[in-house]
Structures are given as C-alpha cells and as structure tokens.
Chains A and B, each alone.
Chain A
Amino acid sequence: QKEVEQDPGPLSVPEGAIVSLNCTYSNSAFQYFMWYRQYSRKGPELLMYTYSSGNKEDGRFTAQVDKSSKYISLFIRDSQPSDSATYLCAMSSNDYKLSFGAGTTVTVRA
C-alpha cells in the first residue's frame, strides 16, 4: 500500500464548476500538508500549505485536512480553463522529506 493515495483521474469539468480533489494517507505522523499544481512539462508550484487539521482558504482555493480520517481535500471554485493542470498532494511529518501523491489531472472545458 502506498503511503499517499491519490486518484489520478482524469477529471473533466465545465468552466465555472467546483473541482474537488482528495488524498488519503496512512502515516499518522504527517502533520504538514500541501497541494502543488503542475502544468505540462513544468515543475510543480506550491498552491496551498496547511498545518494539522482544519480549513484554509486562498481566493478560489480551499484546502481541508481531516487528520482523524487521514484525508485531505482541495476545492477549486469557479474553475477556469487556466486551472487545467495536474494537482499533487504532498505531506510530511517533521523532517525535510515530502511524500507525494500520484497527481490528479484536471481539465476545465471552456
């Protein structure tokens, strides 16, 4: 079993829809949670960063962490074609190393 599980999709939604992405994990020591966005043939860029449980909102993006269920989510409201990318979840305990999910490919149709 992988340490971090993420549905690879692909996910296709119409412009303006809400995109819902999630990851599950098995390591209860994880306490730092991140979402990265990766455009084709580019390196990932950090979107959201959350410590422990709870919600965090940044513009159209909301990240949720439920440590009791070992489940994290990313929601994108009012999705735009420019949101079309692969979204990677990542998490860590208390050291440098991040564990990544496989990534979910999202296409927002105009």
Chain B
Amino acid sequence: DGGITQSPKYLFRKEGQNVTLSCEQNLNHDAMYWYRQDPGQGLRLIYYSQIVNDFQKGDIAEGYSVSREKKESFPLTVTSAQKNPTAFYLCASSIRIGGFGYGYTFGSGTRLTVV
C-alpha cells in the first residue's frame, strides 16, 4: 500500500542533542513537507521541498534542518538551537497537477519530548 512512513513514533531528546526524524513516502509525490503541531496552535510549516535537492524554509525554520537527496525521503533534524522542541511532528507529501497540490497525505507523526 502507498503511504508515508514516519519513524520513530516516539523520540526522547536530551538537552543539547541533535535528533533526526525520518520520513519516507512511496506515493511518487513531488512535494514533501514538515509541520509542527502544538496544542491550540494548529499546524505550523517548518520546511518544504518541491523537488529533489531543493527545499525552502517555512514559517518556523529556526533550529531545524532538512535534506532532500531522494524523492522518497525528507528527513528533519531538530538541532540544539531549537529551544522548545517538544511537539508532535508531521510529515506530508502532495502531487502537483495543473499548478496545485491536491491536498496532502500525512504520516502518523513523531512525538518528540525533551528530557
């Protein structure tokens, strides 16, 4: 079955540590996204990528980094510069036809907690 796989489901980070969240899709979608979800704030865009080897900052990119070396993969690194990383992280992908992405397909998310 086609879909998006995020791993791990739960992740614990110590202060000052970098961690990487994995996102893999087998939908042959061109675009991929990372969102952060906090209670009462909805989804906020961290980074997005429209094609391989290209990505753009979203609204809250500080303290995060990404890479897009393969169409299927879009890993997110939460660096020690991110001061409040505890959140639910969602990866998504979309296909673009006629100039618009027809909605997103989301992964099941990774819950990151700082300990």
Q: Which residues in A have some Cβ–Cβ distance to B below 8 Å? A: 4, 6, 8, 32, 34, 36, 41-46, 49, 88, 90, 92, 94-98, 100-103
Do A44 and B42 touch (CB < 8 A)?
no
Q: In chain B between 76 and 115, which residues have their CB closer than 8 angstroms to a CB of chain A?
A: 90, 92, 94, 96, 99-109, 111
In the assembled complex, the CB of B70 is this many whole angstroms from the nearest CB of chain A, namely: 19
Contact of B104 among A8, A98, A101, A103 (CB under 8 A): A98
Known: A100-B42, A101-B42. Is A45-B106 also a contact (CB below 8 A)?
yes
Q: Which residues of B contact A96 (CB under 8 A)?
A: 31, 33, 48, 50, 94, 96, 100-101
In the assembled complex, the CB of B32 is this many whole angstroms from the nearest CB of chain A, namely: 10
Tell whether B45 is near chain A: CB-to-CB under 8 Å: yes
Nearest A-chain residue to B96, judged by Cβ: A96
Tell whether B53 is near chain A: CB-to-CB under 8 Å: no
Q: Which residues in B have some Cβ–Cβ distance to A below 8 Å? A: 4, 6, 31, 33, 35, 40-43, 45, 48, 50, 58, 90, 92, 94, 96, 99-109, 111
Q: Which residues of B contact A102 (CB under 8 A)?
A: 40-42
Say what secondary structure dominates the interface of chain B: strand
In whole angstroms, what is the CA distance A8 to B37 when docked? 14
Known: A6-B42, A96-B48, A101-B42. Is A49-B103 also a contact (CB below 8 A)?
yes
Contact of B109 among A4, A42, A88, A95 (CB under 8 A): A42
Do A97 and B42 touch (CB < 8 A)?
no
In whole angstroms, what is the CA distance A95 to B43 when docked? 17
Known: A96-B94, A97-B45, A102-B42. Is A42-B103 also a contact (CB below 8 A)?
no
Which of the listed residues A34, A36, A96, A103 has the most CB atoms from chain B within 10 Å of its own CB?
Answer: A96
